[in-house]
Amino acid sequence: MPRIAIVDYGVGNLRSVERALARAGAEAVITPDPRVVAGSDGVVLPGVGAFAPAAALLLGSGLGDAVREAAGRGRPVLGVCLGFQLLFESSEEGEGGTGLGLLAGRVRRIAAAPPLKVPHMGWNSLRLRRPAVLTQGVEDGTRCYFVHSYAADADPADVVATVDYGGEIVAICERGVVTGTQFHPEKSGPAGLRIYANLVAASVGERRPAEPSLP
């Protein structure tokens, strides 16, 4: 049973993630300890709220460096919602902020026009763009649950799935062992549980070196 660290930096819906990972076959550990995060078999970085204060908490606590270390050791890392956005280089939300730089790109406000509303809230259908470890067993058109006002302007090579919300929004990225979902897998029914199960399986598989983090 792999040990998956759920990063506790004061932001996020941790218990629902813990329950979903347990159902997927992991020993899920909610932890604020960078050493536990760095030494785990896999990492989930959750998050809700605004980018800049969350980034400050993550980086100021040493947990951001621990997530980078885990990825550098070939441990799968999954960012969820705001946690996904924090994997990128920066955001324009509020006063902005610096992310972990494990994924290339910047987070920008959704540019949906009326009658669509921001935040993008509710169920939406995935458009799978390429195969990925995280989406094995997930079908094109699968509906997942979103709550967000900002979205990643990602490197096209990293994009695994998108959704349509008055334009294309990145829903899933994968770059080496670093992955992320803009939606909440723990709120997305069987498809979300499959995504967590894929993370658990990757955590006990052959270790893959992470692709170099961005400068």
* Per-residue model confidence (pLDDT) at position 94: 78
Sequence-ordered strand ranges (E) for 134-185: 143-148, 150-154, 159-164, 168-175, 178-181
> pLDDT grade, residue 210 (50/70/90)?
very low
**Which residue reads 């349509």 in tokens?**
164
* Per-residue model confidence (pLDDT) at position 79: 98
Question: Could you check whether the bond before residue 212 is cis, i.e. omega within 30 degrees of 0?
Answer: no
Q: Is the pLDDT of residue 213 over 60?
A: no
In sequence order, which residues have a C-beta less than 8 Å from that of residue 156 and are 6 or more positions away? none
Q: If you average pLDDT over every residue of the chain, what do you get?
A: 93
114, 73 in Cβ contact below 8 A? no
Q: Is the pLDDT of residue 214 over 60?
A: no
Instruction: State pTM to two decimals.
Output: 0.93
pLDDT, one tens digit per residue, over 70-123 is: 999 999 999 999 999 999 999 999 777 899 999 999 999 998 888 999 999 999
The H or E element containing residue 97 is strand 97-98
Strands 77-80 and 120-125: unpaired
Average pLDDT on 150-171 reads 97
* Per-residue model confidence (pLDDT) at position 110: 95
Q: Is the pLDDT of residue 145 over 50?
A: yes
Q: For residue 177, which of 152, 199, 157 has the smallest C-alpha distance?
A: 199
Domains of the chain: 3-203 (3.40.50.880)
* Per-residue model confidence (pLDDT) at position 13: 78
* Per-residue model confidence (pLDDT) at position 95: 79
* Per-residue model confidence (pLDDT) at position 215: 36
Query: Known catalytic residues?
Result: 81, 184, 186
* Per-residue model confidence (pLDDT) at position 20: 96
* Per-residue model confidence (pLDDT) at position 205: 75
**Which residue reads 């406000």 in tokens?**
109
* Per-residue model confidence (pLDDT) at position 177: 97
